[in-house]
Structure 1
């Protein structure tokens, strides 16, 4: 092999070595960085797409925000964070005036801590046992038809919320006695139920009061109605609702 051909061969090998070194030392890192940048760009675009979707959802919810705020205000007025006895009494007096009844007495008791209703586990087991025995019982032939025992309706399921506890929820007993005719008393109850403050009436009693009539000289009979129930207070956790003192109107 001549010297020139050897030099050319060495030059070619050196060129290949330089090209390979340049690729691995210069080009390959750039390709790796480009690939990483492309992956980062795809990740950012995916994140931007998720953010745009969330913003669209929030914009849709923002359209109903005034309605939800109005509903929240109505619920807060229905079950306030304090006893607000004076406001409640004013509502009752306004309703009495509008319906034509006369308030004779109005009593608000002390606030009582809420106690969740106990679940009747025993009754459920008993009902299950009765159903099982009824299902396995073998009917006996009879010549005469007998009336079947009517099924006992099941009690409704009690629904509770773990966020409502004795620390933040209170019950205030209320009793209101009014004088007026039946139609007036019925209008008074309807008006009370329509008031902003929730007043749950669970007991109604009536009586007839007699008094001497100044006009005719005889005896006048006036129906008297007593409505008993409760109002409620939902305060912040750890705070107790302020209690009210009995008030006669």
Structure 2
């Protein structure tokens, strides 16, 4: 091998070494930075997409906020945090006046702690009254078996307890006709305060001559309720089912 050829071979090897060294020292770091930049860009885009979806959800909730606040105000007025019997009497007077009646008596007993009803796991299939009817004989037509009504299931809410929920038994009496009494009940049931009527009695009124009149004294018994929201705890609210009342 001549000196010129050896010099040329050495030059080629040196060029190859420089090229490889340049790749690892300059090009490879740039490629790594580019790959890292692409990964960061993808992460940022994903985060932005999640943020946009969350922002859209918050905007939708914000649009519903006025309606939710109105509903909260209605529910708060239905079951207030205090007894507020004077406000309830004023509401009864207003409803009675619209019906052309007047409240003749009102009584309210002491508030009692709420006692959740006990749930039952007995089903209609295991009930003794749900036994199957005997098979019909070939010579007679079997009568249809009456359908046994199913009692509604008991629904409770873990956030409603005897510590924060109270029941106040009340009795209200109004004087008027049957139609006026119906109108009064309808007005009370659609009023601001929740009034659960559980009993109704009536007594005919007599005129000055002792004869019966069209008016009667209608006595409605039931309950109003108080919910102390200051005693609600996040843990109790979290255990409540959304479908519970």
- Class of the TM-score when normalised by the shorter of the 2 chains: 0.7 to 0.9
Matches within 5 A, 1:93-242: 93-122=93-122, 124=124, 126-127=126-127, 134=132, 139=135, 141=137, 143-145=139-141, 147-210=143-206, 213=208, 218-219=209-210, 221=212, 223-236=216-229, 238=231
Q: Give the match for residue 247 of structure 1.
A: none
* TM-aligned CA deviation for residue 179 of structure 1: 1.9
Contact 2:136/2:142 (<8 A) preserved: no
Tell me: CA distance 1:177–1:6, structure 2 relative to 1, closer, same or farther (3 Å).
Answer: same
Q: Distance in 1 between matches of 2:85 and 2:61?
A: 36
Q: Do 1:181 and 1:223's aligned partners in 2 also have CA atoms closer than 8 Å?
A: yes
CA distance in 1, matches of 2:178, 2:129: 46
Question: Greater shift after overlay, 49-58 or 76-85?
Answer: 49-58
- Residues 133-184 of structure 1, C-alpha deviations (whole Å, 9 max, x = no match): 62xx772525344544423211122223333232332222111112222222
Instruction: Structure 1: state its 5+ residue gaps.
Output: 240-249
Q: After TM superposition, list the pairs within 5 Å mapping 1:9-48 onto structure 2.
A: 9-48=9-48
Report the number of matched residues: 230
Tell me the secondary structure at the aligned position of residue 166 of structure 1. coil
Aligned partners of 1:167 and 1:237 also within 8 Å: no
Structure 2 distance, partners of 1:51, 1:57, is 10
Unmatched 5+ residue regions in structure 2? 233-245
Contact 2:175/2:217 (<8 A) preserved: yes
Aligned partner of residue 126 in structure 1, secondary structure = coil
Structural mapping, 1:61-80, within 5 Å: 61-80=61-80
Q: Which moved more, 1:55-64 or 1:139-148?
A: 139-148
TM-score normalised according to structure 2 size: 0.82
Q: Following the alignment from structure 1 to structure 2, what is the Cα–Cα distance between the partners of residues 21 and 111?
A: 89
TM-score in terms of structure 1 length: 0.80
CA distance, structure 1, for counterparts of residue 184 and residue 70 of structure 2: 26
Moved over 6 A (4+): none
